[in-house]
Every structure is written in structure tokens, then in C-alpha cells.
Structure 1
Amino acid sequence: MIVSVRHRGVSALACMMRRARPAGTVLLLGMLASTGLTHSLRAATPRHRLHPANRPAAPAPASTSTRAHPVIPANAEAVMVNGARRAFHFAAAQHIADSTTRITAETLVRKGVVGLTDLQNLAPNVTIQSLMGTASTNFFIRGIGFNDYTQNNTSSVMTYIDGVAFPLSTMAAGMMFDVEGVDIQPGPTGTTHGLADSGGEVDIHTADPTATWHGGVTQDIASYARSRTDLYVSGPLADTVSFRIAGQTMHGGGWQTSPANDTHLGNADEGALRAKLRWHPDEKTDVLLTGHWVQDNSGVVVGKPVVNFLPAVQHIPTLGYQQADWDLRPRFARLIGRSPDTMPSEHNTFWGADLKISRDLGFGTLQSTSAYETEREGEYTDQDGTIYASGDQYRNIVANAFSQELSLKSRDRQKPLQWVAGMYYNRVRMLQQFYFDFTDYKPLRGYLSETSFNQSQQTFTQYAHISYRLPYRVTVFGGINHEADDRQLIGLRTVHFGVNDLNFHNEGAAANQFTGTVGVQWQATRTLLLYYKMSKGFKPGGFTGNNTVVQAQLTPFGPESVLAYEAGFKSDLVPNMFRLNAAAFYYDYHGQQYISSYLVPSYGPLGMFVNIPKSEIWGIEFSAELHPLPHVYLTQNLGYERGKYQKFQALNSSATNAYYTTHGVWQAVYTDFDGVDSGIPKLTLNGSADYRINPFHAYELETGLDWMYRDSQALIAGGLGAYRLPSYFLMGAHMTFRPVSDRWSATIYASNLLNRQYFVAGGQATTTYFWIPGPPRFIGGRFSLNF
């Protein structure tokens, strides 16, 4: 029940409403309504201070754009009072033709999400994996993604933070704090904002400055001496200026040990800050300046070898689940300029700033977004997971990215015609150095090596999107994107110390393509939406960058494109009690970019990106929310997908290695993968069950369980056995006690409650194939104070 009033004493009235009991609030609203005062009042209670079940549902928009928001005059004082208890969030999104998974800040906290990889446990058909246990991250949505350890190419799934695209996903590491929510959108994007891509996007929204004073601090302590501290303060500096400062530190939690050198691995050591300054110079203009800084010196989890390619030379002992071996030789430490006591770890610094300026022009809203991001990454990993110096690596990356976006979108959300048009430009510069210790990899190598290169890249994009509301609650929509991408690999050099010095010719890659989307949605009833859409996605090509020994490895791989078909529905079958959304999709995939292998004569297989001429992916997704009883809240996401290579021949690196082991000669063994399953996880599901009661008059108790299942995943084409990650099932639990005012809260929780042994990623070093283990059971407590 929402009632609007006009009154000069808005602030005092808002205070009365905030403190009023529900019955008293209804009575007060009835008295106000009878006075005939009609001016709309909104949001005296800050959104982040409301319990999820009490938050008001937003009105349905008239547009299909996922970034369309109603424009409210800056000087409008407003109060929204909600007399009904809402069980579900995102009511407005139920009228948008998409299958985006939208996640609230409370869900992120309750599920223990502190990093990007944790998000895969909250959405269907999503895989987000750390590379070699490091801060670098690969994203896959509905089987489309890009496995890029070098991180010098554009991702198939774009990461956005507050509307700013991060073309290098590592730059987004350490940013998951003071988050307002996350949207995970599958399918091709790029007709309403930012860059085009083939797989979708992960859009992270951080909390904005508030017009009234608020602050909070949270301390989280858990097993293995893990500690996390979060804090924020937000409020006005003047009538037209407000700010917000937030920070996070993480320490400890290293659960992996090395019996070879008696060390703990994987301890967190990270600090991050974010500051926002908002200025409303007048009722039509909004200026938001954001800056952030992240310092990450955290330890790296070491992989467990599952295949030994040199059994006659190297002996790999059988270790426990929480054990792994590693070794850093003094000579290699001197080469990379690190202490001989350095353990597998990061030494990364990220910082950046963005400026958003929007202006109400009457007929539309003009917005400019300028952003600059930097990355300084120094990372040591022991990739073979042994005490031998056969796969130790250190990489040094210095990179920066500048972007500028200008967009104009329709302002009146009630008109049948909605539109947005814009332009986007980004430029990336980077220097990379890869160092390897192969001194125990004999007789083939036995040396230290360095590969270094510079890379420059720029992209220019234009986009437009329109929707039109027809009679009978039918809306048609369409969009187009044109993207031109140009990149150069410059001055690549490989030094095999004491052996040779190899210099390679520069390489270039360019792409220029149109993409777009068309679709229709029908609001069949007030609580049922049906939709169908077709989209074309695009991702530019690039280069294979590390450990280069022949010019052929630098041959650019081409762009990939996806023709996507999707049909679905969104329904509140029983309003406020049962919500069910579903989608079915089919992807016609051309030029899929895939990390395969290239056989270097007298050297062995090395990773190299290739294009798979043709493949396909299809699947379904379901998302359900239930509130069957007054205190019971259930959620369940389910995704099922299948992929198949339709035309693909590639070097079989495992068979090639096996041939060398038997015959002592490198002989390329190729396999025809036509018709072979692509090995993406077929079934993914996650859900939760919560029980909320008020044991005392002014206090609330919430307890619940959460769960997730991930099917097996092939790590190489046609991968079986050691080349396929096993499926796994995890459970978590939590219990929170807090006053209704939410001034404080106390939580106890457990992750991986059943203490399962599982593996979250895998890959190949020079002499071993390995899996990256997932964390064991953590039991912890969290205490928060808010004002």
C-alpha cells in the first residue's frame, strides 16, 4: 500500500513514518490521504537499511532496456511507505524481456561472496574460474567464454563495474566490497551500452553516496585465521554535494600446506578503498566522481598434479587434499627480482577513476562516462605443483585502459517509444614479461627463459536501441551495434638464457562487424510476460602471447560470432508467494576462440589460440522463488546446457605427449572432434531455504541453508579422466540475529558444510596436468554495526 502526500515538513514526517508500527503507519497514511495533499514523496528510508523482505517493489518500466531508470528531479523530497511485506525483489525486472540473474547485496553477504569466482554459485549455466589459482579470472555464460591465461585479449563475457567496462578482467579483482547488487546477463550484448560481446556480461553495482549520514563496519572471522573487515561512511558535505568512502581488508585463510618445505599457502593479504563524490549543481545535472585502489599481496593456491608427463624423470608423491608441493630456486628468484623466500603469491596493484556526468535535456538524458584503469601485476606460480624446477613461472604485467562513452536516452518512461543511442571508445596499452624456470625439464630444455612484448589496442563502437509499445500490451524492440577493433603485438622477444635470443616480427589484427538484436514481448496478464528475441554477438580476435619460440605461434586468431535465439517467460504465478521464470536458448557459434595446442618441432606442444569453424550450444534455465508459509523463503536456480563441436580438428596434446613418452620423438597426433560434446558443465543448480521469525518484539532471527551442484567439465576437447573436472555438490548454513532497526547484526555461518573435496579449475604445465582444489569447510562469525 503506497500513498503520496505534499507537505513542507517532509523530513520530520519521514522520521515519524520510519518509526511507526505497521498499523500506525496505515492509519497515519489514511489521515494524510484525506487531506488531499497530492505531491509524491519517496524514499526517506535508505534502501540499504531495509530488510530484504520489507523492501518495496519497483514499478514496471515501459522499456525493455535493462539500464532504463525513471528520472526524478534532484530537488524532489520524497518518502515511500510500504505497508505490505514483499517476499520477492526486482518486481520491475519481471516486465523486461531478458533472463538476467539479479542478485541483491544481502544475498551476496549471506552467501559469502567476496570475489568474482563466488558468483558462479548464484546463477544457472555460469562458470567463473580462477586461472592457476590466481587473481586472473575467466568467465563463461551458457558455455561461451574465453580461457586466457595471458589476459591480453578481450573476454567473451564483459565485466562492468558501475557501468564502466573492464576489457581486462584482472583489473576487476578485489572490487567486490560495498556492493549494492550484481546482474549476470547471458547472451550477446552491446546495443544499449558499452562494448559488444558474444557471451554476456557481469554488471557489478557498488553503493552510491546518500543524502543523509550513514555508516557501518563489519568484522568477519573464520577458520584458518581468516579475517575480513569492511567499513563505509556516507553523507552530505553540502546541500548539493554528498560522498561515500568504503574499504575492505582481508587476511589469512590459507588452508593449503606444503610438506616439502613446511609452508602455508593461499593466505589472503589484501586492502582496498573506494571513494565517491556526487554533485547536483542543479535539478537537471548530476556529476559522480569515483576513485578506487586495490593492493593484493595474497598467496596463491597450488594445483595438484593428476598426470605426470615425465614419470621416468620426475617422481610425484601422493599428497592429501589440503597439501601441495612447490619450490623456488635462488637463481630464478634473482632473475625475477624477488626474495628466495617468496611463496606462490600475487603482488598486484590496481587503481582507477571514472567520471559520470548526466544532463536532463527535457526530451532525453545525455550522459558522459570517462574512465581510466591501471594494472600492475607481479605474480609467482608453481604451475607443475612439484618440487622440481620444470614449470615455475613469474609474470609481470603493466597495463592501462582508457574509455569514453557518450549516450542519449529517452526521458519519459511512460511514452510508447523508448530509445537510446551512444558511442563508446576504449584504448588499452600493456607490457608483459613471462619468466619460466625449466632447469629440471631435461633433456628438452634445462634453462631459464623470458618472453616479453608490448600490446596496443583500441575499439570504437556505435550503438542504438529502440522499443515501441503496441496495443494489447505487446512491445517490439530492436538494436544495432557497430564495432571496429584494432590491435598490435609489438616487439615480442624470447630469451633462453645461455642458449639463444629470439626476436619476432610484429603482428596486427583488425575486426569490423555489425551486431544486433530484435524481439517481441507480450504482457499476457499483469503477472505473466512472454518474450522471444534473436541476437548476434561478436568478439574481436587477438594473439597468443606467452612462451613463444616460433613465429607461427603469433599468427592472430580471428573474431568469433554467435547467432543466439531465446524464448522465455516471467511469471508471478501467485503474487508474493510463487515466482517462476524460465528461458530456452540455442546458439549457432562460428569461429569459437579456443585454447588448443601447437607442436613445436624438437620442443613439444605449446598453447595456441585457434578458431573452431562451427559449433552449437543449447539449453534451458529455470529460476523459482517461493514464499509458501509466513516465515519460509525458498529459491532455486537450475540450468541445463549441451554443447557440440560441428566442425573442428585439433592437435591432441595428451596423445602427442604419450607418443613422445613411448617413442622419444615428437610426433603430432591430430583428432577430429566433429560431433564431439564440448564438455561444458551440463547441469548447474543452486538454491537456498531461509526461515525468518521475530522471537522478540523488536528482534529478528534468520536461519537457513544454501546449496549448489556443478556437473563435470572437460578441460580439453573430448576430455575424459584426468582431463575432466569431477562434478561436486556443496552446502552452506547461516544464522543471523538482529534488531528490526538493523542497527547491528550477529551471524554464524559455515561454507562447504559437508567438508567435500572438490576441484574448481584445471590446466597443463610443461610436465604435469593439474587440478586446482576448492576450499575445505570454513566456520565463521560476522558482526556488523550500522548507523
Structure 2
Amino acid sequence: MAVFCKTSRIWRARLAATGAGVTVVMLACAPAWAAGGAAVPAGRAAAATPVPAVAPPVPETVEVNGIRRAFTHVAAQHLPDADTRVTAERLIERGVVDLRGLEYVAPNLTIQSINGTASTNFYLRGLGFNDFTQNNMGPVVTYVDDVAFPYSTMASGLMFDMADVTVTPGPVGTEHGQSTTGGEVKLRTNDPTDTFHYGASQDIAAYARSRSTAYISGPIADGLSFRLAGQVNQGGGWQTDPLNGAHLGDANSWALRAKLKWTPDSRTTVMLSGHVVRDESQVVGGIPISRLIGSAPIPSVGWTQTEWSAKEAFTKLIGRQNGLKPSEDNWFWGADLHIAHDFGPVTLTAVSAFETEREGEYTDQDATAAAQADAYRTIAANNFTQELRLANSRAGDRLQWVVGAYYQRSRMSQNFYFDYTDYRPARGYMQVSSFGLNQEATSQFGHVSYRLPRHVTLFVGLLHEVDDRGLTGLTSRIYGGRTLDFHGESTAAAQFAGQAGVSWQATRNVLLYYKMSKGFKPGGFTANNTQVQGQLAPFMPETVLTYELGLKSDPIANVLRINAAAFYNDFHNQQILGTILLPDYGPLSQLTNVPKSESWGFEGTIDLHPVRHLFITQNIGWQRGIFQNFPTVNRAKTNAYYARTGVWKAINDNFAGVDNGQPKLTLNGQLDWRQAVSHDYAVEFGPNWVYRGAQAMTPGGTGFYRLPPYFLLGAHVTLRPASDRWQVTVYASNIMNRHYYTSGGQATTTYLYIPGAPRFIGGRISCGF
């Protein structure tokens, strides 16, 4: 028997989310961490799993048939997948406040900012591509509350008031949403509550960084409830310009989310949601690593320094104020409607969503005070999706199934402005490239599973998708010079994807599974800095056949959990950022296809609770891949030839047998010690860590074309009362103040790295009622 303090609705809700086995009694004045064995102190959420019935309440005593769980997501241990599921509390502990931070809590996941901006590229199990223009669908799709965001930038600023996050590796699309080859990242935010709740948090850290969040939730009328949540981010800029001491990197953003939930009867739920994000944050500037063109030395800058420039003529051209710093000027807003009705044997779900993006983004892509690759881009985009799903309502049936259809339509226009006025004698001008994108896709999907005797389950899924997209109205204009007009390009694809597998619940706590999945992703276009029509040739669709063998186990209940999966990917026409060379102009990046490639590896999570107060989580990811056939321009050799001769000549290579360059080893984990310090208070503390292996930023890249590996260490200490109504945390990230780089790239004259943040020490106080 365990005894807990009956003072908090939050704590009582967490008790309800426990497994079966032992009666738990709550008394009015007992301390919340008085449980023995595998008990978790106040505030440690148990797994959100189905629970047995709760006995009728009696005065001052509530009985719950359950045992405190050391590990979360107990029900998911019986699902045949390699998903990483992360609670909202773990996200807060690790300081994960944006998409990029998810790589600190999941294996084999890399999320990189593009030139230090809010735009991101995903790599999951090594599968992803670097798309600066962000007008193509990535191999890893972000979902927010069951709504797919095909362009990752649209999901910026939405990670607040979170419920949980799920990272799913491998091909998906036979059960919901968009078909992909690499997987998906699903964000789930908190829903309205039937009782009144409110709360807030304030996080203050080094470099004047401030993060504020608040929410209020409760009933409006019978069957009608609401939730309103918001966040404000300010400061935190840690870079300076050594030439003039100017400051760079401060956040300046706010966001609001509103949800309205209506349950007209016990079988129907209607949820209307809306959000708006305003982001005027400064971006992280690059550090030049090598000069590729010219003989002038690259700037010598310190770890927290960077150079930039924005000439008055350029800011006037783009309609911005003189003295512009590298920064965002973004609006994101959208709304979605979820309707679910249980007809008895089946449940019908409809999800409608409309998302809008208005982006203005200035970056200094040569990372010097010279105007050799200053860039400003504007994006106006909208995306509409409609999904219908019909599924079996009876969870206990041997036969489980879901069928559905998905529709997506997007419209986008972009302008890319470049200032090359100091890039002489090659260019010496300002330029703008403009284009539009029209895209439409439809898919039909179905998934069936059947439970055989002896705890064996067979499952199969099928998807058919048609995607049609066209590039329109592309022009490239040199101010004071020529204007090039290009004819439109289009590409269409129609393919099948699917999945088949078997799972075996060998024992109550051990699940084995094997599955084969075929993934499909449509083709697209490279559309920035276009000089010749050939640059607009569409790249082809990507397909992958994935074989996966997995294990989920709790060999020692509430003490040890081991989940692991091994995979092999067989790619055809894998999409990747390659290189082309334009005579008398130079090398340019272009999305292209690798005719044949492969990758393999494994990932796993170990949760350990060896003694009463100690909890350890370790994620491990390892992958390796090679290009089996990949003829393309060798960018490193081409740049080296120009440096020797002053002549642009394409040095072609076939990278057959060359490593795909993705980080081979990724590690991240956390250790927590949870201890009562008095009758009324508990403390928890411990370190966290992350390691990421080297990454080649160009095919076959070596030397400075390979991003160095890094290891980071953080820690936190949290004090909370028995009521669990507030908590105070002191934390530190990058304790050792390691110098590391998160991404890299080349614009024109220099090759640069984007540095990671230095040591941050901060504090956070939060409350909830």
C-alpha cells in the first residue's frame, strides 16, 4: 500500500493513470512521496494507459486499483513500432522548446536549422535532405494535433502547452495522414478540461533570455469547454560583431493557441482549434571556416562572434530599415476542425485544417562584413488538408482496421533577393529570383490487423497516392542588368506504398515484431538562384523498402525496460542535395536523385530504475549508409581546382561505395535522483547528456566539409511541494561550455559553420491550479 497527499487535482489525475495490481489510498495529510518501492515523487506522471474502474469515493479517502509505474507509456509496450514517446514533463526537464530540441530526446534523429533560422531540415535514421527553399515536402513530416505540416517552417513556434511528442521512424501513411519515406514527428498539445484549471511559468536564463507561458482551461457550459494558451520568448542572443560590438541572436516572438471542445453527447466530440505565431527573432550568424574563392583571409572571430552586413541599397530594395540584422519577420496562423462520432461498431473521424505562412527572412550567408552572399527571402504560402478515417470502435476485437482518404492542396510564392555587390569580379550586382508553386495530392489508405491464437498478430497496410505539382512564373533579374524568364515545369507521380508484418507477445512483458514497409515521397524542384532552364528540371520521386525487426520488453517490471529495433533501408532515387556547375558562374546546390543507395542500423532505449530514488534513461542510435550509384559533381574537388587555376571546371565523380555522411552514432539520456527532503517537499536532480557523431555536409565530404562530432552535458535541480501546485528549477545547458557546430554550408565565397549555444544557466518557476 502507498499513501499520498490528497491536495491536488493534478496528482489525483496522475494516480488514475496507473496500472493494475495494488490498492493505493490517498489520505488528506499524508506526504505525496511516501510511497515505497517504485513510487515516484509528486509531479512524476505515470503512463497514460487504460486503467481499471475506480471505486466510489468516500469522505477523505479515494481508492484506486493500481501500482505506481516507474516508466511511462505502458500500453505502447504492446504496439509493434519503434516510436519514441516523450512526455511533456520530460520535454520541460530537457529544455525542449522548439522542434530542433527533439534530437536531444530521441535516437537517430537530427534536426538542423537552415543558416541559423527558424526553418529546419529533418534527418531520421539518416534519411532527410537539405532544402533551403523549403518548397518541397521533406521525408519526415511534422504533425501538430493530427494535422500534417508538409512544409516544416509552418510548425515554428507551436511547441508550448504540450501534452506529449511521438517520433516515428520509417515509412508511414497506411493509418493516417501523409505518406512519407523517413517518418513523422507528432506534437500533441493539451486539450480543454471539464474542470477549471490555470497555470503559468517563467524561465529566466543567461544573456537576458526570458520564456513565459500561461494557460487557462475549463467549462463554458454543459458539454462545452475551452483552453487558451500562450507564450512569449525574449532575449538570449549570445553573439556579437567584433567589428562594432553589435549584438545578435535575441528572440522576439509570441504565440497564442485557442481550443473549443464540444461534446453534444457521449458519442460525439467536436474540437475547433486556432493558433497564431509572430516571430521577429534574430537568427544565429555563421562562422567562416574556409575561403573557397579569392585570396583575402577569412575573418578571425571568437566563439561567440560573427560578422554580418546589410548595405543601405539592399535594405532599400527589400523594403526593410537600414541597419537590418539577420532576423525573421514571420507570421504563421491556422485553424483546424476535428469531428469524431462513435456509431457503435465503427468510429468516423474527420480532420480539416488550413495553415498560412508569411515569412520574411534575412541571412548573411558569407558570414563576413562584405556583401558577397547576403540573402533575403519572402514566402507567402497556404496549405489546406482534409482527412476522413473510419475505424473499428471495439478495442478488444481480434480484427482491427482503419480505412481513409486524405487530400492536400498548397499554394506558395517566393522571392529570393541576393546582394553580391562585393563578390567581384565574378558578379558585383544585386539579384532577385521569384517563383510560384501549385501542388495537390490525394491518397487512399487502409490498415488491418488480426490477432491469432498464442498472442500472434498479423498486420498489413496499403496506400495509394497521387501528387501533382508545378513551378510557375520563375524569373531571375539582375538589377541594372538582364532579366531571365523561365517556362514553367511540372511533375506528377502516382505510386503505391504499404506495410506488412507480424508481432508476437511472447510473454506478458516481451513483444517481438517484424515488418516490411514501402515508402513513397513525391518529387519536386530546386528553385532559388536560377540561371539556366536546366536547373528547374524536377527531381524524381523517392521510394524506400524498409525491413525492421524490433523488441519491446520490461524484463524486470518497474526496474528495467529495453526497447530496440534494427532496420535496413533499400533506396531508389533517394533525394539529396547535390551540386551542379554553371560555367563562368560557379557551383550551385541542386536537389537531385541518387539512383541507388542503402542504409542500415539500430536504435534503442534503456530505462533503468535500479534503486528506490534513481531513474535513468539512455537512447542509443547507430546507422550507416552508402551510395551504391551516385554520379554527380564533386564540390570539394571542383572548388579546389578553381582555387589552383582560377577556372571553373566541373570535376565529376561517382560516389559509389561512399558513406552517406550522416552521423553514425547518436546518444542522449538523463539521470534523475528523486528524494523527499521533508514531510512537505521533494527534490529531484541529475545530469543529462547528448552526443552526435560527425556529419558530412556534402556528398563524400571530408575536412571542413565534415561537421565535427560533439558532446554536451546539462543538469537540473527541481524543488516541488506535496500539493504539486508549483515547482522551482535551476538548470544549466552545455555546462562545459563546449564549442560545437550544429550545421554548415556554402553560399559563394566561404564555407561556414553555424555554432551551437554556449553555456546557459537559468531558473524556472511554474505553477498550476
- Length-normalised TM-score, structure 2: 0.94
User: For the structure 1 residues 669 and 231, does the alpha-carbon distance in structure 2 shift closer, same or farther, using more than 3 Å as the test?
Assistant: same
1:279 equivalent to 2:262? Answer: yes
**Distance in 2 of aligned mates of 1:27 and 1:156:** 49
The residue type paired with residue 552 of structure 1 is G
Partner residue in 1 for 2:659: 677
Which residue matches 2:319?
Answer: 337
Q: Percent identity of the aligned residues?
A: 56
Q: Cα offset for 1:59?
A: 4.0
Query: Is residue 41 of structure 2 the alignment partner of residue 58 of structure 1?
Result: no
Tell me which residue corresponds to 2:160. Answer: 177
Counterpart Cα distance in 2 of 1:600 and 1:778:
44
Q: 1:690 to 1:492 in 2, by over 3 A?
A: same
Equivalence for 2:279: 296
For residues 682-697 of structure 1, the aligned pairs below 5 Å read: 682-697=664-679
The correspondence of residues 234-253 of structure 1 with structure 2, limited to 5 A, is 234-253=217-236
Contact 1:530 1:570 (8 Å CA) reproduced: yes
Hey, what does 1:38 align to over in structure 2? none
1:432 paired with 2:408, answer: no
Q: Which amino acid aligns with 1:193?
A: H
Alignment of 1:142-161 (within 5 A): 142-161=125-144
How far residue 54 of structure 1 moved from its aligned partner, in angstroms, is 5.2
* Structure 1 residues 568 and 244: alpha-carbon distance in aligned structure 2, compared to 1, 3 A threshold: same
Give 2:467's aligned residue: 485
* Contact 1:403–1:427 under 8 Å retained in 2: yes
- Aligned with 1:712 (options 678, 688, 694): 694
Change (3 A) 1:27 1:58: closer
Q: Tell me the residue number matched to 1:658.
A: 640
* Paired letter, 1:682: K
Matching residue's letter, 1:512: A
Q: Map residues 383-532 of structure 1 onto 2, 5 A cutoff.
A: 383-532=365-514
In the alignment, is the contact (CA less than 8 A) between 2:169 and 2:182 conserved in 1?
Answer: yes
Contact 1:53/1:88 (<8 A) preserved: no
Equivalents in 2 of 1:480, 1:459: separation in Å? 17
Maintained 8 Å contact 1:694/1:700: yes
Contact 2:511–2:553 (8 Å) recurs in 1: yes
Out of 581, 598, 616, the position equivalent to 1:634 is 616
Moved more, 255-264 or 641-650: 255-264
Aligned partners of 1:744 and 1:785 also within 8 Å: yes
Sort the Cα spacing of 1:52 and 1:102 in 2 relative to 1 into closer, same or farther, 3 A.
farther
Matched, 1:130 2:113: yes
How many angstroms does 1:231 deviate by? 0.4
**Contact in 2 for aligned 1:60/1:95 (Cα 8 Å):** no
- Partner of 2:333, secondary structure, is strand
- Maintained 8 Å contact 1:394/1:434: yes
Given that 1:60 and 1:91 are in contact with CA atoms closer than 8 Å, whether structure 2 keeps it comes out as: no
**Structure 1 counterpart of 2:574, one-letter code:** Q
Q: Alignment partner for residue 90 of structure 2, among 89, 102, 107?
A: 107
**Aligned equivalent of 2:239:** 256
2:592 maps to which residue? 610
* Distance in 2 (alpha carbons) for counterparts of 1:309 and 1:142: 31
Q: 2:538 aligns with which of 541, 553, 556?
A: 556
Does 2:751 match 1:786? Answer: no
Superposed CA deviations along residues 547-594 of structure 1, whole A, max 9, x for unmatched, are 001000000000000000000110001001100011110000110111
Q: Please give the alpha-carbon distance, in whole angstroms, between the structure 2 residues aligned to 1:28 and 1:384.
A: 62
* 1:103-145 deviations in Å (ceiling 9; x for gaps): 0000000000111001011111110000000010001100111
- Report the CA distance shift for 1:655/1:786 in structure 2 as closer, same or farther (over 3 A): same
- What SS does structure 2 have at the residue aligned with 1:696? coil
Does the 8 Å contact 1:53/1:85 carry over to 2?
no
Aligned AA (1:58) = T
Which residue of the partner structure matches residue 57 of structure 2?
A: none
User: Aligned match of 2:755 in 770, 773, 778?
Assistant: 773
Separation (CA, whole Å) in 1 of partners of 2:338 and 2:373 = 45
Stretch of structure 1 that moved more, 600-609 or 103-112: 600-609
Change over 3 Å in CA distance of 1:207–1:139 after alignment to 2: same
The whole-number CA distance in structure 2 between the counterparts of 1:60 and 1:290 is: 29
Instruction: Measure, in 1, the Cα distance between the counterparts of 2:440 and 2:64.
Output: 48
Q: Secondary structure at the match of 1:469?
A: strand
Structure 2 CA distance for aligned equivalents of residues 669 and 566 of structure 1: 38
1:311 pairs, out of 294, 315, 321, with 294
1:21 corresponds to which residue?
Answer: none
SS of 1:524's equivalent?
strand
Give the secondary structure class of the aligned counterpart of 2:677: strand
Asked if 1 retains the 8 angstrom alpha-carbon contact of 2:561 and 2:606, the reply is yes
Deviation at 1:659, TM superposition (A): 1.6
Q: In the alignment, which residue of structure 2 is the partner of 1:721?
A: 703
Q: Deviations over 1:624-670 (max 9, x none)?
A: 00111110000101111101000011101222122222222211111
Q: How far did residue 310 of structure 1 move? A: 2.4
* 324 and 734 in structure 1: CA distance in 2 versus 1, 3 angstrom threshold: same
1:648 pairs, out of 616, 619, 630, with 630
For the residue of structure 1 that corresponds to 2:753, the secondary structure is: strand
The answer to whether the aligner puts 1:594 opposite 2:576 as a matched pair is yes
Secondary structure of 1:81 counterpart: strand
Structure 1, unpaired ranges of 5+: 3-10, 19-23, 30-48, 62-69, 71-78
C-alpha deviation, 1:84, in angstroms: 2.4
Q: Which of residues 558, 570, 576 is equivalent to 2:552?
A: 570
Distance verdict in 2 for CA 1:546–1:82, change over 3 Å: farther
Question: Which residue identity lines up with residue 183 of structure 2 in the other structure?
Answer: G
Aligned pair partner of 1:205 in 175, 188, 205:
188
Classify 1:775/1:145 alpha carbon distance in 2 versus 1 (closer, same or farther; 3 Å): same
Q: How far apart are 1:778 and its partner, in Å?
A: 0.2
- Distance (Å, rounded) in 2 between the aligned partners of 1:685 and 1:231: 32
Q: CA deviation at 1:601?
A: 1.5
Match of 1:97 among 80, 85, 92: 80
The verdict on how the C-alpha distance between 1:583 and 1:336 changes in structure 2, with shifts beyond 3 A counting, is same
1:33 alignment partner in structure 2: none
Match of 2:737 in 1: 755
Moved segments of 4+, more than 4 Å: 24-29, 49-52
TM-score normalised over the length of structure 1 = 0.91
Superposed, 1:361-380 pairs within 5 Å as 361-380=343-362
- For 2:730 and 2:706, locate their aligned partners in 1 and report how far apart those are by CA, in whole Å: 35
Aligned-partner residue type, residue 679 of structure 1: G
Letter in 1 for 2:191: D
Aligned to 2:35: none
Say whether the 8 Å CA contact 2:171–2:519 is kept in structure 1.
yes
What is the deviation of 1:752?
Answer: 0.5
1:80 shift after superposition? 8.3
Question: How far apart in 2 are the matches of 1:589 and 1:375?
Answer: 32
1:216 — aligned with what?
199
Q: 1:50 to 1:430 in 2, by over 3 A?
A: farther
Q: Per the alignment, do residues 264 and 28 of structure 1 end up closer, same or farther by CA in structure 2, a change over 3 Å counting?
A: closer
Asked if the contact 1:708–1:729 (Cα under 8 Å) also holds between the matched residues in 2, the reply is yes
Match of residue 32 from structure 1? none
Between the aligned partners of 2:714 and 2:256, the Cα distance in structure 1 is: 29
Letter in 1 for 2:546: A
SS at match of 1:620: strand
**Equivalent AA in structure 1 for residue 278 of structure 2:** Q
